[in-house]
Amino acid sequence: MTTAHQPNQSSKSTSHWLDRRLVLFTGKGGVGKSTVAAATALLAAEQGKRVLLIDVDSTGNLAALFEHPEVGFIPTEIYPGISAMQMDTEDSLREYLNLQLRLPLAGRVGPLANAFDFIASAAPGVKEILTMGKICWEVRESLEKRAPWDIVIVDAAATGHVISQLDSPRAIRELVKVGPVANQTEWVIEMLADPLITELHIVTTPEEMPVSETIDLVKSLKTRVDVPLGNIIVNRVLPEPFNRADADIFSNLETTNSLAAIEKTAGLGGKKVLAAASLAVSLRRSQSKHIAYLRQSVDLPLVYLPYLFIRDHGLRVTRVVSEALGYEMGTGG
Ligand SMILES: Nc1ncnc2c1ncn2[C@@H]1O[C@H](COP(=O)(O)OP(=O)(O)O)[C@@H](O)[C@H]1O
Ligand SMILES: [Mg+2]
């Protein structure tokens, strides 16, 4: 497997990708965003880093990728070196009010939650800032040594929602120009824009829809938000079973004698064997076409992860993807 990752690019070369304090993953639903985020967490933990893994998608279950029961808003160790938490905007609001305004709030936010729901639906970006604010707050706490994390890894929103999340501090700053809330947005914007701290990777697969969504997303990210972009991780790339010369050999096999010989040795209809080979070749060619289009449409490094033929979901998949990721991106350790 080859990689287009160019380690000598700009200021990024001064530090390794796992040296960022905040690493975010987005991508179209189903492409393997959570798997890649979990695999990255494993890679970082294996280097001795203390990881906070944040699941932003409320339907997700990242802890399951470590064969651990679901976790809540409070970071909980799910694997040696990896703590995980599930984002929850109401909990985030409660924590914010507690910390910033020193309001003693026990239990549910209650009437405040109703007011919050009202504001959140009236003003765009309120729920999103509670998500981004919490993420960046954990990073800041870790930089100031009040939280143990060496790296915060985020299974962020899918392509459709990630921009409004990343853009929320700016949207809120437009809304509230002075006072403590405005001051809070400033440092979040700065942290998200800092290439030594933050990096956003996009996960995709070599198929038509994920590739076109990725191309659109890169364009929107570049024009609408100031967040350093890392790699495009192309997941589920099929191995190349046969080269062009092999394909010629296969077409030459389509004679009655050869088909009979295949049937005799394989114990399977010769036509079926050739059809399977032809399907493998055309799937792989279609993937190559999408990869080529992606490569010429975006100027980010592409990193490839193989299709895993594993009928499993837990730690084993996370481990195998983590190994492939470490090989492709480097472990820097
Ligand atoms: N490289 C891969 N090869 C095969 N299956 C994969 C690969 N990466 C992820 N998967 C599987 O694809 C499914 C979707 O992955 P998931 O990480 O949950 O996607 P997302 O978070 O983007 O919705 C899961 O069943 C996962 O095990
Ligand atoms: Mg997911």
CATH of the domain at 138: 3.40.50.300
- Answer yes or no: is pLDDT of 105 > 70: no
* Mean pLDDT value across residues 246-269: 76
Of the listed ligands, the closest to the CA of 31 is: 1
Identify the pLDDT of residue 29: 92
Range name among 212-221, 229-238, 240-249 with the lowest pLDDT average? 240-249
At residue 178 the predicted structure's pLDDT band, cuts being 50, 70 and 90, is confident
7: pLDDT strictly greater than 50: no
Quote the crossing angle between the two packed helices 89-100 and 126-143, to the nearest 10°: 60
Write out the H or E segment, with its range, that includes residue 201: strand 198-204
d(CA 138, CA 176): 23
Tell me which residue range forms the domain holding 75.
11-239+299-329
In a domain, 293, yes or no: no
Q: Of the candidates 333, 331, 330, 332, which has an alpha carbon nearest to the alpha carbon of residue 5?
A: 330
What tokens were used for 147?
């939280």
The answer to whether residue 249 is domain-embedded is no
The pLDDT tens digits of the residues spanning 261-314 come to 877 787 777 777 778 777 777 888 888 999 999 999 999 999 999 999 887 778
Atom of ligand 1 nearest to the CA of 28: 22
Asked whether residue 263 is assigned to any structural domain, the reply reads no
Cβ(31) – ligand 1 distance below 6 Å: yes
Out of 74-83, 177-186, 284-293, least confident range: 177-186
Cα(101) to centroid(ligand 1), Å = 41
How many structural domains compose the chain?
1
Asked if 201 contacts 23 with a C-beta cutoff of 8 angstroms, the reply is yes
Is residue 92, in this structure, part of any structural domain at all? yes
Place 6 in a pLDDT band, splitting at 50, 70 and 90. very low
Q: Is the CB of 307 under 6 A from ligand 1?
A: yes
Nearest alpha carbon to residue 93 among 38, 143, 131: 131
Q: Does residue 115 form part of some domain?
A: yes
**265 part of a folded domain:** no
Is 139 touching ligand 1 by the criterion CB < 6 Å? no
How many Cβ atoms are within 10 Å of 119's Cβ, its own excluded? 11
pLDDT score at 270: 74
Tell whether 137 is covered by a domain: yes
Q: With respect to residue 71, please indicate whether it lies within any of the assigned structural domains.
A: yes
- Choice between 283 and 34, residue whose per-residue pLDDT is larger: 34
Three-state DSSP at 318 gives helix
Cα separation, 137 vs 239, in Å, equals 42
Write the CA distances from 108 to 10, 58, 92, 112, 183, integer angstroms. Answer: 47, 19, 12, 9, 27
Residue given tokens 């405005």 in the structure block: 182
What average pLDDT score do residues 123-151 get?
92
Q: At residue 117, does pLDDT exceed 90?
A: no
- Which tokens hold the place of 162? 């990630």
pTM given for the model:
0.87
Q: Which of 8, 4, 11, 16 is nearest to 332 (CA)?
A: 16
